[in-house]
Amino acid sequence: MLKIQIDEEKPQYVDVFQKELEQELQLKTVVKSTARRFNRPRVIVLLPSRELVEQILSVAKLLSHYSKFRAIAITSNKDRRFIKKTLEMPVDIVIATPAGLLEYIEKGYINMVDTKYLVIDEADTMFGKGFGEEVQNIVNNMKNSGKNQNKSYQIIIVSATLPKTVNEMLNQEFPNIKIITSHSLHKVLPNLKHNFIDMKDYNYNKSAAILEVLKNHNTNEQSTMIFCNTRVSAHALENFLKTKKFPVIGLFGNINERKKNLEAFCNQDPNAKILVCTDLASRGIDTTFVNHVILHDFPTTIVNFLHRVGRTARAGRKGEATYFITKKNRELSSRIYRNIRDGRVLS
């Protein structure tokens, strides 16, 4: 027991002691409230693809050397025994796909009662048909967990594009949402050169067109991404370019192959200077080194167009984009062309 002798002629010492005691008690309360508990992350980051989860995890691990926090990744393909064992230790940040996270929530391996921040990246995709129901379940879990303790929380929603339907849904679901937008929202990047190629000039032969475009660019030095609308189309194009001895790989197969091929392309392997891909590679992946994007198959929406061409001319660098125009997409491509020419927002 600590005994304090107080000089009644100097009451200011009492005030100093009381203030120090109050500060110590407040500090203990803060430490207790922020203490990490097993299977109860303080931050959850939701992403649409395994590749993006791994990329964000690598960034988090670099930051954790300075900020001293623990981050783990959860996707449906990861070893379940390893993740369960990991969740038995305190964790600060969980980075996950919606399906992977829900699996562990529903089985009781993750409790969101301590979660203060829920970050939802690529919102235009996450609140769409493919992920919408799963993301909504996670949002509801966030709202309901810790209700008895009057838990405060924040949901942060991030997107490079904001379609009207998603914007309306967010305003309805989160009536008090604060929206912060960039002046360049739904505008193409200023350092991007556009090439609109009408397939009519090639008798609608895309094979002849892609060979000419690639031969006119130094594919041994430039990193190029070629987008297709389907996995079948991408696979066929990859095989065709391999027969022509181009340094090409694909990003659309099983997870192990995708991871290996993406690493080779990002490391600018001389045998992987061209990446043939679907929209799987159009969001979030760091492609600041990409010089040229080719839309072999024109996208069906302006949102997908913006995400694909946004893979180049990033971080102030210059880039080039080439678009193959057919009868089917002539109307959409003409509208995009006029908006780019006039410097208008793409909508």
Reported confidence tier of residue 35, pLDDT bands at 50, 70, 90: low
- In single-letter form, the type of residue at position 32 comes to K
Reported confidence tier of residue 13, pLDDT bands at 50, 70, 90: very low
Tell which residue, 50, 72, 76, 51, has the closest CA to residue 60. 72
Residue-wise pLDDT for 65-105, tens only, equals 998 899 999 988 888 999 999 898 889 999 999 999 999 99
Tell which residue, 282, 277, 192, 265, has the closest CA to residue 223. 265
Domain ranges, ordered by start, for the chain: 37-173, 192-341
pTM of the model: 0.81
Q: Which architecture, in CATH terms, is 192-341?
A: 3-Layer(aba) Sandwich (3.40)
Residue 28 pLDDT exceeds 70: no
Tell me the mean pLDDT in the region 173-179: 91
Reported confidence tier of residue 298, pLDDT bands at 50, 70, 90: very high
The predicted pLDDT at position 31 comes to 40
Tokens of 100: 């992977």
Give the span between the Cα atoms of 31 and 227, in whole angstroms. Answer: 50
Higher-confidence position of 14 and 182:
182
CATH topology identical between 37-173 and 192-341:
yes
The predicted pLDDT at position 219 comes to 82
Residue-wise pLDDT for 16-27, tens only, equals 444 444 554 444
Residue 334 pLDDT exceeds 60: yes
Residue-wise pLDDT for 218-277, tens only, equals 888 899 999 999 999 999 999 999 999 999 999 987 777 888 999 999 999 999 999 999
The predicted pLDDT at position 292 comes to 97
Name the DSSP class of 38.
Answer: B
Tell which residue, 263, 264, 266, 297, has the closest CA to residue 279. 297
Reported confidence tier of residue 142, pLDDT bands at 50, 70, 90: very high
Distances (CA, A) of 49 to 14, 251, 316: 59, 13, 26
Name the DSSP class of 6.
Answer: -
- List the CATH code of the domain at 37-173: 3.40.50.300
